[in-house]
Structure 1
Amino acid sequence: MSSDPDTLSADAQRLLKEDSFENETFSDLDLQGRDLGQKEFYRCTFERCQLQESRWKNTRLEVCVFNGCDLTRIQVNQTALREVRFEGSKLMGVDWTGVSPNPELAFDGCVLRYASFVGQSLRKTPFLRCTAMEANFFDLDLTDADFSGTDLTGSNFRGCTLTRTDFSNAVGAFLDPARNRLKDTRVPVETAVLLAQTLGMRVSGFNTDAAERPGRKKGR
C-alpha cells in the first residue's frame, strides 16, 4: 500500500477526506490500512473493496451493505452498526468486542474464521452459509440467531444464551450445556451425538469406534 494519497482514486480520496455519506456506492477501492474513523455512512454500499486492517473507530454505519469486500482484521472499536449487512465478504480475524452496544448485523456467505464476538447482544442475527471455523462466541445473547449452513468447526461457545438459536443446518457445532444456556435450541443430529459421546454415552448407529463402523469386515 502506498502512503501517498495522490496515488488513490478520486473516490478513495473523497472517502478519506469527507465525514458524511448518504445513498452512495463505493466500488473497487483499495483502502487497506486506512483510517476511516469519525465518519457517518447512511444507506451506502461497498462493492469489491480492499479494506484489510482499515480503522473505523467512532464511525457510524446505518443501513449499509458490504458486498464481496475484504475486511480482514478491520478495527471496529466504538463503531456503531445499525442494519449493516455483509455479503460474500472476508472478515477473518475481526475482533467485534469493542463495537458500540446492540449492533444490528447480518452475515451471508462470509468468511468469519478466527473472529471474536464477546459480550454483545446479537439477537436474531443471521450467520448464513458462512465459514466461521475457530471463531469465538463468548458471553453473547444469541436468542433467535440463525447459523444455517455455517461451518463452525473448532469454534467456541461459552457463556452464551442460545434460546431458539438455529444450528439445525450448521456443521461442526459443539455446544456445551454446562457453559451455555440452551432452551429450544435447534441442533443437527451430529451435534447431539457429539454431546452424548462427550458425556460418555454410545449412540446406536453413530459409534465412532472404527472396529464397529458399518462396512468394516470382522475378523474370523
Structure 2
Amino acid sequence: MAQDDGTVVKRLQQEDSFERETFEGLDLQNVDLGDKEFYRCTFLNCELQEGRWKDALLEACVFQGCNLTRANFNAIRLRGVRFEGSKLMGIDWTGVAANPEVNFEECGMPYSSFVGLGLRQTSFVRCVAREANFFDMDLTDADFTSADLTGSNFRGCTLTRTDFSGATGLVLDPARNKMKDTRIPQDTAMSVVHALGMLVEGYHAKTAGRGGAKKTGAKR
C-alpha cells in the first residue's frame, strides 16, 4: 500500500466525519467504519470486504466498482446512496436503519437478504441478484429492469407498479405477494397464470379431459 493510501486509511479510522471526498483504490477489508459520517463522498474501486459500518451515516454517496462482499450494514443510515458496478455478495440488508434511500445499477448481489424493508422506487437495474431473498417488503415502483433474479424468492412483498421488464429467472407467486400493475416478462406471466390454475392457449400443452378422449361412433 502506498504511503498516501496508508495516510488516508489512518484518517478514515481516526476521524469521524468526511465531506466531498473521493476515496480511490483503497484496501479497507475488515476495517471498522462504524459511527462515521460521510457526506457527498465517492468510493472508487475500493476493497471493502467484510467492512463494519454499524451506525454509520452515508448521505449522497456513490460506490463505483467497489467490492463490499459480506459487509456488515447493521444500523447503517443510507440517504441517497448509489452503488454502481459493485460487488455486494452475501450482504444482509435487513438490519439497516429505517427508510433507506438507495439505488443499485449493474451490481453483483447474489445471496443477499432483504427482509421487512421499505424500498419504494429503488432501482436494481441490470443487477445480478441470484439466490436473493426479498421477504415482507414494500417494493412499490421499484425497478428491476433487466435484472438476473434466478433462484431468488419474493414472499409477502408489495409489488405495486414494480417493473421487472427484461428480468430473467423471475418467479412470482401471486398468492404470496400483493401485485397490482406489476410489469413482468412473458415467461413469468405464463408461470403466474399457471399458478392460478389456468392454461394459455398456444403456450401450455393441452391436458386430457376427464375420462380421457371422447369416443365417437354409432350407438348400438
Compute the TM-score of the two structures, normalised by the length of structure 2.
0.89
CA separation of 1:208/1:153 partners in 2, compared to 1, >3 Å: closer, same or farther? farther
CA–CA separation in structure 1 for the residues paired with 2:43 and 2:87: 13
In the TM superposition, 1:1-220 aligns within 5 A as 9-207=6-204
Contact (CA 8 Å) 2:173, 2:195: kept in 1 or not?
Answer: no
Q: Percent identity?
A: 62
- State the Cα deviation string for residues 28-59 of structure 1 (Å, max 9, x = none): 00011111101000000000000000000000
CA–CA separation in structure 1 for the residues paired with 2:51 and 2:68: 8
Q: Which runs of 5+ in 2 are unaligned?
A: 207-220
CA–CA separation in structure 2 for the residues paired with 1:200 and 1:46: 49
Deviation at 1:198, TM superposition (A): 3.8
Aligned amino acid, residue 81 of structure 1: L
CA–CA separation in structure 2 for the residues paired with 1:134 and 1:205: 31
RMSD of aligned C-alpha atoms? 1.8
- State the Cα deviation string for residues 14-40 of structure 1 (Å, max 9, x = none): 111111000000000001111110100
Deviation at 1:203, TM superposition (A): 3.1
CA separation of 1:84/1:200 partners in 2, compared to 1, >3 Å: closer, same or farther? same
Structure 1 segments, 4+ long, off by >6 Å, are: none
CA–CA separation in structure 2 for the residues paired with 1:130 and 1:99: 20
Q: Which runs of 5+ in 1 are unaligned?
A: 210-220
Structure 2 residue matching 1:162: 3-state secondary structure: coil
- State the Cα deviation string for residues 51-102 of structure 1 (Å, max 9, x = none): 0000000000000000000000000111000000000000000000000000
CA–CA separation in structure 1 for the residues paired with 2:58 and 2:131: 27
User: Which protein is richer in strand relative to its size?
Assistant: 1
CA–CA separation in structure 2 for the residues paired with 1:130 and 1:97: 19
Aligned residues: 205
- State the Cα deviation string for residues 145-194 of structure 1 (Å, max 9, x = none): 00001000110001100000001221111111111100111111110112
Deviation at 1:208, TM superposition (A): 7.6
Aligned amino acid, residue 182 of structure 1: M
